[in-house]
Amino acid sequence: MTPLIEVRGLHYRYDDGTTALAGVDFQLESGESVALMGPNGSGKTTFVLHLNGLLMGEGKVVICGLQVQKKHLGMIRRKVGMVFQNSDDQLFMPTVLEDVAFGLRNIGMEPEAAAARALVALEAAGMPPAAAGRAPYHLSAGEKKRVAIAGVLAMDPEILVLDEPTTFLDPPAQRSLAGWLSQLPQAKLIVTHNIWFAAAICKRAVFFREGRIVADGPVPEIADRFGWDFAAQPAN
Amino acid sequence: MHHVVLDRWSRGSTAVHRLDPRAKIVSLLLLLIALATAKHSVPLLAFELALLLAAGFCWARVPVVGALARAALVLPFAATFAGIAWLAGDPARGLSLAVKSYVSALAVLFVVSTTPLPTLLRGLEAMGAPRFLLEVAQFLYRYLFLISEEAQLMRAAAAARNASLEAWRGNRERFRAAGGALAVLFVRSYERAAMIHRAMLARSFEGRIPTLSINRFTTRDIVFVVLSSAIPWALRFVTAAS
Amino acid sequence: MPSPWHEFCDRATVKDNVHIPDGFLATPVWAALDLAAAPSVAYMARRAQREFDESRVPLLGVLGAFVFAAQMINFPVGPGTTGHLVGGALLSFTLGPAAAAAVMTAILAIQALVFQDGGILALGANAVNMAVLGVLAGYLPFALWGGGRFRKLAIFGGAALSVLVSALAALSELLVSGVKMPFPVLGLSVALFLISAALEGAITLAIMQALARIQPGTARVDHKLARSGWSRMLATVSLATLVLASVGVLLASAAPDGLERLGEQTGITSRMRTLIHTPLTNYRAAFLHSDNLSKAAAGLAGVALVYCACLALGRIAARNRSL
C-alpha cells in the first residue's frame, strides 16, 4: 500500500544559514496517528511545514503519491489539513461560518453549498449552530481550536496535522479534544509536548533532535527513553 | 473597552437587525444629507430627527440612554466650536453646528448598533465600495481587539518597571522605552500577519479572499428605505416652512 | 484643536489629530472632497493591491490594528501631558505610500463607524487630509533623503510634516466652511499642531530606531527613486508645494486683518465675497457674488491640488518597489 506520507533525506536551511532539518526520513500509513516529540527548536514544526509545501527543502517529500512541487500544491493542500498552534492566526475571517467555509470557497464551491457544508462541519466539531455568526474574538480557547479544526476537516483531508494543539487549553478542554480527535478516521500527525495527550490519540511517536528523527516507537517507550514524562527519571 | 459594547448591541436579533445592511446604509446617507444641507430651523429639525432615532433604538432594543451618551463623544469637539461661535456673536450658528454633529453621530450609531460591523462592510462592498479596502478594514477590525490587548499588556509591563526612575530622566527613558515597546508590537504584528498568510495558504488560498453571499433585498427592506428616507426629508421641509 | 486633550484609559483613540465630524463642513466642501477622495483612494488601493492579489490584505489589516493599538501607548511630553502616535508616516516608511494610504483609509472608516470619531459625509475630507495628503507629505522627505546622512532628519521631518499638513488641511476646510475661529483660537490651534507635529516626529523616529535594532531592513528606501532624476525632481516639487501651501495657510491665519475678513466673510449665510489664498495653490475665489459658487470654486481648487498630489504620488509609487 502506498504510504500517505513518504519523506526521504529532507534537508532545510534557514535564510541565515542555520540548519533546521538535517536529513529526515519518515513514513506514514493510512489511518496511522503519530506524535512528533522533541525539544524546542529540534525541527518538528519546520518538518510539518514541508508536508503541504509551505516550506520546500531538499529531499523527497511525497504526499498521497504526489511530489511536493508547485504544480501539485493545490491538490496536496486539500489532502493535508493543517491546524496551527495559535488559533487566532488561523481564524482570520470576520465570522465563524465564513472562516470554516474559507477553504471550501477557495476550491471553488458555491457560497450556499459552502455555507451548508461549513455548518455540518461545525456541528461535527461540537459547536452549536448559533456559533456560526459569532466573531472569533468572542470564543474561548477551546472553542477556537474546535472551529479551527472544523475549518480544516470541512475540506475532507486525508491527513490531519496539528501543531501543539493543547497550548492555551485547560485540562477539561484537552480531554475533550483528545476524545474527539481519537474518533476521527484521518491519519494524524500531532506535534506535542503533552505525553498524556499523545498517548490518548497516537500509538506511535517519533523523537526529533537537532533536525533529525532519532527514535521511532510506541509513545510510552519514547517518552520513557528520553525522559519526556514527568514521572520518569531523565535519561541521558 | 467600549467597542465591545457596540459589538454586543449589534448582534441583537430584532427586525431592524435583520434588515439588509444596504437598506440601512442608503437611509443613513439620505438622513445625513438632509441634516447636513438644512439651513432653516436646524435645532428643531435636529430634535425631531433625534426623536425619530430614539424611537428606532427602542424598536431595535438598543439602550436609548446608552446610545445617546455614546453619540455624545462628538460633543467636546462640537461644543468647543459652538462656544467659540457664541462668543464671536453668532450663537445660532454655534447651536446649529453642535446639534448637526450630535444628531449625525446618533444616526451613524443607529446603523452601527444594529448591524455587526463585518456585515456592514460586506454591505458596502455589495454597493460598489473598493473591495480591497473593505477587506483590509475587515482584518483590521478582526485583530483590533487582540492587538489592543497586547498593547495594554505591554503598557502595564512598562509601567511596572518605571517606578524608580527620576522625574526628568524618567521622561526621556520612558520615551525611548515606549518607542521600543511599539517597535516590538510592530514586529509582532508583522509576524502575526505572516502566520495568518501561512494559514490562508494551507487552506488553498489562491489570491482572492472569498465571501459568503449577502442577503437578498426583500420587500421589507424596500419599505424601510422608502419610509426612513422620506420621513427626514419630509420633516425638513415641514420644519423649514413653519 | 483647542479642546483639552485628556487621556481616557479605556478609549482606543484619543483626539489628537483632527477627525472632522459631520455638520462642520459646508456642503460644497464635503461634497467636493468626497468626490476628490473617491478616485484618489481607489487609485491607492489598486496600487497597494498589485494586480488583484489580495495576499497583502492580512498585513495591511493587522498593521492598521497596530496603529490603533499604538495610540494607547503614551509618550511623555512634559509635566502631566502625554501624546501618542498618529502613524501615517510610519506606515508609509515601512509599507510604501500606496499601502499606507489604504491602511489609513481603513483606519478612518473604522474610527468613524465604531468610535464615532469623524463624520461619514466628512469621510472624504478626512481621507484626503490624512490618508492622501498626510501620507504623501510624510513619505516624500523619506523617499528623497531617507537613504543618506540625513536619514534621522528625514524621518523626523516626514512624520512631523505629515501631521502638520493633515491638520492644516483640516483647518483650511473648516475655515472655508465658515466655522468661526477668532485669532487667539486659531493661534492656539496652530501652536498645538506644531507641537503634535514635533511629537509625531520624535515618536516615529524612536520607533524607527528601535526597529532598526530589532529587525533591520524593515524600512528601506528604494534606491531607484533616489537615483532617478525625474522622480527626484517631481518629488521635490511636490514636497515644496505642500510645504509652501502649509506655510501659506499659517501665514494667512497669522495675519490679523486677513483673519477678520475670513471671520466675517466666510459665513454660510453671508452673501459676501470669499478670499482665501495661499501662495502656490491659488485658492482665490474673490469677486464672486454667490457664496455657494465661491465655495464650490474653492472646493474645486482643493480638488485640483489633491489631483496634482496624487499624480506625483502615482509617479513615485510606480517607481517604488519596496515591499
C244 part of a folded domain: yes
**What does pLDDT average to over chain A?**
93
CB contact under 8 Å between B133 and C10, yes or no, is: no
Chain B positions in Cβ-Cβ contact with residue A99 (cut-off 8 Å) = none
**What does pLDDT average to over chain B?**
88
Q: What pLDDT digit, counting tens, does each position of A180-227 carry?
A: 999 999 999 999 999 999 999 999 999 999 999 999 999 999 999 998
Predicted pLDDT of residue C313: 55
Q: What pLDDT digit, counting tens, does each position of A49-101 carry?
A: 999 999 999 999 999 999 999 999 999 999 999 999 999 999 999 999 999 99
d(C-alpha C323, C-alpha C313), whole Å: 17
- Which C-chain residues 102-141 have CB contacts (< 8 A) with chain B? 102-103, 105-107, 109-110, 112-117, 119-121
Q: Inform me whether the pLDDT recorded for C266 exceeds 60.
A: no
Nearest chain B alpha carbon to C208: B183
The residues spanned by each domain of chain B are 2-125+215-241, 130-202
SS3 B196: helix
Q: Inform me whether the pLDDT recorded for B132 exceeds 50.
A: yes
CB contact under 8 Å between B210 and A106, yes or no, is: yes
| DSSP assignment string, C243-276 | HHHHHHHHHHHHSHHHHHHHHHH--TT--S----
Select the residue from B13, B203, B205 to test the A interface by mutation, using most A Cβ atoms within 10 A: B203
Nearest chain B alpha carbon to A95: B118
CB contact under 8 Å between B139 and C2, yes or no, is: no
pTM: 0.86
Q: For the ranges B127-136, C13-22, C131-140, C231-240, which has the lowest average pLDDT?
A: C13-22
More confident residue, A88 or C264: A88
C101 part of a folded domain: yes
C252 part of a folded domain: yes
CB contact under 8 Å between B3 and C180, yes or no, is: no
CB contact under 8 Å between C62 and B196, yes or no, is: yes
Give the domain range for residue C43.
27-319
d(C-alpha B88, C-alpha C180), whole Å: 7
SS3 A39: coil
pLDDT, mean of residues C291-305 = 47
In degrees and rounded to multiples of 5, residue C234 shows phi and psi of: -60, -45
Chain A positions in Cβ-Cβ contact with residue B200 (cut-off 8 Å) = 92, 102
In degrees and rounded to multiples of 5, residue B19 shows phi and psi of: -65, 150
Strand partners, A191: A36, A163
pLDDT, mean of residues B62-90 = 88
C211 part of a folded domain: yes
pLDDT winner (highest mean) among C47-61, C112-126, C184-198, C238-252: C112-126
Q: What pLDDT digit, counting tens, does each position of A132-174 carry?
A: 989 998 899 999 999 999 999 999 999 999 999 999 899 999 9
- Comparing CA positions, the residue from C103, C74, C80 lying closest to residue C91 is C103
Taking a C-beta distance cutoff of 8 angstroms, is the pair B43, B99 a contact?
A: yes
pLDDT, mean of residues A29-54 = 94
Q: What pLDDT digit, counting tens, does each position of C139-178 carry?
A: 999 988 888 888 999 999 999 999 999 999 998 898 888 8
Question: CA geometry: angle at A63 spanning A58 and A69, to 5°?
Answer: 50
- State the CB neighbour count (10 A cutoff) for residue B172: 11
The residues spanned by each domain of chain A are 5-225
Chain A positions in Cβ-Cβ contact with residue B204 (cut-off 8 Å) = 74, 77-78, 103, 106-107, 155
CB contact under 8 Å between B182 and C63, yes or no, is: no
d(C-alpha C36, C-alpha C306), whole Å: 7
Predicted pLDDT of residue C250: 67
More confident residue, C275 or A126: A126
β-strand A80-83 against A159-163: which pairing, if any?
A: parallel
Taking a C-beta distance cutoff of 8 angstroms, is the pair C174, C24 a contact?
A: yes
Q: What total number of domains does chain C contain?
A: 1
C14 part of a folded domain: no
Select the residue from B3, B39, B40, B133 to test the C interface by mutation, using most C Cβ atoms within 10 A: B133
CB contact under 8 Å between B209 and C57, yes or no, is: yes
Strand partners, A61: A7
CB contact under 8 Å between A90 and B199, yes or no, is: yes
More confident residue, C71 or C125: C125
**What does pLDDT average to over chain C?**
74
ipTM for the assembly: 0.93
Chain A positions in Cβ-Cβ contact with residue B205 (cut-off 8 Å) = 102, 106
Give domain A5-225's CATH superfamily: P-loop containing nucleotide triphosphate hydrolases (3.40.50.300)
Predicted pLDDT of residue A62: 95
Taking a C-beta distance cutoff of 8 angstroms, is the pair A161, A83 a contact?
A: yes
Task: CATH number of the domain at C315, please.
Answer: 1.10.1760.20
Predicted pLDDT of residue C310: 53
Q: At what angle do helices B21-36 and B117-126 cross, to 10 degrees?
A: 80
User: Nearest CA to CA, how far is B161 from chain A (Å)?
Assistant: 27
C150 part of a folded domain: yes
d(C-alpha B4, C-alpha B22), whole Å: 23
Q: Inform me whether the pLDDT recorded for C293 exceeds 80.
A: no
All partners of chain B with 3 or more CB pairs under 8 angstroms: A, C
Q: Inform me whether the pLDDT recorded for C287 exceeds 50.
A: no
